A and B are shown apart, each in its own frame.
Chain A
Amino acid sequence: MSLAPGRPLRARFPIFAAMSGQPFHYLDNGATGQIVDVAADALLGFETRSRANVKRGVYGLADAATVAFDKARASMAAFLGAGSSEEIVFTSGTTMALNIVAHGLAGELRPGDRIVSSVLEHHSNIVPWQLVAGPAGAVVRAIPATGEGRLDLDALAAMVDERTRIVSVTHVSNVTGAVSDIARIRALAPDAILVVDGAQRAPHGPLDVQAMGCDFYALSSHKMFGPTGAGVLWGRGERLDALPPFLGGGEMIRRVSFDGTSYARPPHRFEAGTPPIGPVLGMAAAARWLMQQDWSAWAAHEKRLGERLLNGLAAIDGVRVHGPQGLQERLGIVAFEVDGVHAHDVCQMLGDRGVCLRGGHHCAQPLMERFDVAATARASLAPYSDADDVDALLQGLPEVIGRLR
């Protein structure tokens, strides 16, 4: 059943009962979302009542675990709009997913090849590419950001050439909230392997990776209201088939011999060792729950709150938002700088008022350089956020500024 966004939704998120009786305005959803009850139940239910390893044992408990794991793969395929369950690789999160792709593609890179990332990226979509580019003699280049914190796609048009092998970009910036135009990027770089970091987009509703036109897509469970420790790498069938493994171990092989080892087909080729079974089952439960919600109502709610937040911040003297001013092609992730007051000091003092913000470089140092700031404070919304949360920030901020400036 679909629930109204805002306060009614909180009944489904155990954190709010746990924090009752104290001020709690959770606006750090870009760092991690809170876990929804069905995901927590799936996680704990597996670990305490149904635990057995998957893809191994034949007794009843083990077989049931394997069946549940397969069902989770099907759920994530549905959430992502994948062509089949075999295109869903379970990982520990977005970082591992991006590393599997980067290290898997390393062998294809030749000296002078280009990998295009962007100034908007989280470090996890920059550093893996640098790690594989260096030894291959390939070069990592960055799509610049516009002044309002979007990908400068006109610049990308001028950057793409026949040596551009890989383009890897964020779907939604974890700092500015800007939504990337993946279809246009696909059109600008038709021959490149297109990798999309979907960590910030996944909590905002089901996806259609096939329509998007990308080759790989990565997401994390904990940002989409599932447990920590799980994520997905989706790869277009033929791309995954061609990708060599990154980590070796059990479960990823077909046959092991000292004369030569052959590997399992995807997705198992990329799932060496015991997977995070409980977190995966929790993630899938969260995904099934998300697919049942009324996303037009939730998006309208986020837009209303986002406008309240952006307008409120604009009205406070000395506060500057780094990101698009409106909510067109932008989600409710709002980074801001306070003139003369450091982001950590802002976050520390607002934390005492129960306002939970992230302060720092948000693992996006190139973007901080672009904005010429060391750190910003960031408020990020979720469907359970409400006007009281935004107002607590807007009312607390001038007091903090008065105290610290």
Chain B
Amino acid sequence: MSEDLYQEALVAMAKSGIGAGRLEAPDGTATADNPLCGDRVTVDVRMDGGRVRELAHKTRGCLLTQAAAACVADHVPGMDADDAASLAEAVRRWLAGEGDPPAGLEIMEPVRAVRSRHECVLIAYEALRDALGNAGTSR
């Protein structure tokens, strides 16, 4: 089972370092914690009107959390802010068995069967949603 979970594409994504770091003076920033294990993702966003122009994340977490944060950084810049903010709910529903995977999460298909790891994937998207909420006033 875990061999599926930790397939090469996921491990590569986790280790890619895409978007790793912080933005200087971001328009919005938020941190999400996984209360089960203490993992933590902080997402910074810079806006351009109603779109996400730039995004960075600081992630302390397992391979799943790192891969999810890298997915966020890979796919979200250029997106409409409302669409990006709705990803957290879409990811939650997809993990619960509904609908298609949001862009980039195809590599995480096996996680859906492991209930205790759903939170690992979700927190990056929750930090994104909250960062966009913080940035709302400045866009």
Q: Is the interface of B mostly helix, strand, loop or mixed?
A: mixed
Do B37 and A374 have beta carbons less than 8 Å apart? yes
Bound complex: CA A128 to CA B96 (Å): 34
A209 to chain B, nearest CB (A): 33
A287 to chain B, nearest CB (A): 31
Contacts of B39 in A (CB 8 A): 342, 344, 374-375
B57 interface contact, C-beta 8 A: no
Contacts of A404 in B (CB 8 A): 6, 11, 63
Within 8 A of B (CB), among A359-376: 359-361, 365, 368, 374-375
Do A361 and B5 have beta carbons less than 8 Å apart? no
Binds B, one of A5-13, A87-95, A345-353: A345-353
A196 to chain B, nearest CB (A): 26
Known A342-B62, A374-B61, A404-B6: A348·B37 in contact at CB below 8 Å: no
Known A344-B120, A345-B6, A348-B117: A360·B37 in contact at CB below 8 Å: yes
A211 to chain B, nearest CB (A): 37
Bound complex: CA A288 to CA B3 (Å): 44
B2 interface contact, C-beta 8 A: yes
Chain B interface bracket (under 10, 10 to 19, 20 to 34, 35 or more)? 20 to 34
Bound complex: CA A343 to CA B117 (Å): 13
B1 interface contact, C-beta 8 A: yes
A403 interface contact, C-beta 8 A: yes
Contacts of A359 in B (CB 8 A): 37
Do B38 and A349 have beta carbons less than 8 Å apart? no
B63 partner, pick from A342, A360, A365, A375, beta carbons under 8 A: A342
Interface string of B1-30 (1 = CB under 8 A from A): 111011000010000000000000000000
Within 8 A of B (CB), among A27-64: none
Bound complex: CA A361 to CA B62 (Å): 13
Interface string of B56-70 (1 = CB under 8 A from A): 000011111100000
Do A344 and B117 have beta carbons less than 8 Å apart? yes
Contacts of B36 in A (CB 8 A): 360
Chain A interface bracket (under 10, 10 to 19, 20 to 34, 35 or more)? 10 to 19
Contacts of B60 in A (CB 8 A): 374
Interface string of A323-345 (1 = CB under 8 A from B): 00000000000000000001111
Bound complex: CA A361 to CA B40 (Å): 12
A353, closest chain B residue (CB):
B2
* Residue from B5, B6, B38 with most neighbouring chain A CB atoms (10 Å): B38
Contacts of B40 in A (CB 8 A): 374
Bound complex: CA A348 to CA B63 (Å): 11
Contacts of A342 in B (CB 8 A): 39, 61-63, 65
Within 8 A of B (CB), among A145-196: none
Within 8 A of B (CB), among A369-405: 374-375, 403-404
B38 partner, pick from A345, A374, A403, beta carbons under 8 A: A374
Do A345 and B63 have beta carbons less than 8 Å apart? yes
A348, closest chain B residue (CB):
B2
Q: Which 4 A-B pairs have the closest CB atoms?
A: A342-B62, A360-B37, A361-B38, A344-B62
Supplied contacts A342-B63, A361-B37, A403-B6, 8 more A-B pairs, CB within 8 Å: A342-B65, A345-B6, A348-B114, A349-B6, A351-B2, A360-B37, A368-B38, A374-B37
